[in-house]
Amino acid sequence: MLNVDLHCHSTASDGLLQAAAVARRAAGNGVELLALTDHDNLGGLPAARSVADELGMGFVNGVEISIEWGGLQVHILGLAFDADDAALNAGLALIRSGRVDRAQRMSAELEKIGIKGAFDGAMQHAENPSLISRAHFARFLVETGVCKDVRSVFDSYLVPGRPGYVDHRWVTLADSVGWIVGAGGVAAVAHPGRYKLSRPEMRCLLDEFKGLGGQAIEVVSGSHSAENTTVFSRLAREYGFLASCGSDFHGPGESYVDLGKLAPLPQGLTPVWEAF
Ligand code: AMP
Ligand code: MN
Ligand code: MN
Ligand code: MN
């Protein structure tokens, strides 16, 4: 089977490597088809594509859109779309414009428990200030010795019910799928195993997603357990969804799975790349 990785991040959002370096590392790890999927931003695509072309690796445009669904933050991947599409670009700009305000509110919450200077500290880690993310706050909290690593930050801070987490109005599922499909792309639910949803709630999300024109779900993901993969393989078959796979690589030492090092898609699924 083709070595495909359709989910990873560069410094154009909250990854640790420049987009060109991500593409080079992917090719070095044997990836044959790559999508760079930065959060809410298309800025890394030209550099990644140019390296992919140079190294003879297949490449499709990607993005990971932050939305709110049922009070949760959910991520929708867009794959193989036209990166010049005006409505998609305007929608992503709208999401980015909310991130700085949210970061200021996060910093104010951290200040209340005695953690000073988090906004400026997190910004030091963000190459693109409009993409300021919880991952940048996590790196600041590690750097200042509050936590030993990024994973423990997310156990104790920055998640619902913990200090540093604030509610935020992201865009809707309909917005995200509409923009992706409108730009000629395929929409996929990112790492569905990660959301704290009951089975009926998950079905509700998938029904709504499909009704809006969503075509794919991530079955194999760097943030999925083997059991998640089994559950979402079954749901992909049942719903007739295309199956996607991606490492969700953010950087060396910070990710569970490196670029191109995923398990293959289970048998009996239609790979999403057949639609590209
Ligand atoms: P944001 O888009 O600002 O809400 O930040 C979300 C980002 O934080 C994700 O894309 C990951 O990079 C990171 N993140 C979220 N949860 C975790 C976790 N449990 N462990 C490590 N990183 C996480
Ligand atoms: Mn991220
Ligand atoms: Mn995600
Ligand atoms: Mn991701």
| Nearest ligand 1 atom, CA 135 | 8
pLDDT score at 256: 87
User: What superfamily would CATH give domain 4-96+169-275?
Assistant: Metal-dependent hydrolases (3.20.20.140)
What residue spans define the domains of the chain?
4-96+169-275, 99-158
| Contact yes or no for 242/270 (Cβ under 8 A) | yes
Around ion ligand 2, residues with a beta carbon closer than 5 Å are 14, 135
User: Average pLDDT for residues 218-229, to the nearest whole number?
Assistant: 97
pLDDT in tens, 136-188: 999 999 999 999 999 999 999 999 999 999 999 899 999 999 999 999 999 99
pLDDT in tens, 56-79: 999 999 999 999 999 999 999 999
The structural architecture, per CATH, of the domain 99-158 is Orthogonal Bundle (1.10)
Q: What is the mean pLDDT of the chain?
A: 97
Residue 196 alpha carbon to ligand 1 centre in Å? 14
d(CA 129, CA 173): 25
d(CA 263, CA 2): 11
| Contact yes or no for 242/274 (Cβ under 8 A) | yes
CB distance 150 to ligand 1 below 6 Å: yes
Residue 37 alpha carbon to ligand 2 centre in Å? 10
Closest C-alpha to ligand 1, atom 13: 135
Pocket of ligand 1, candidates 8, 134, 155, 176: which has the most ligand atoms within 8 Å of its Cβ, to mutate?
134
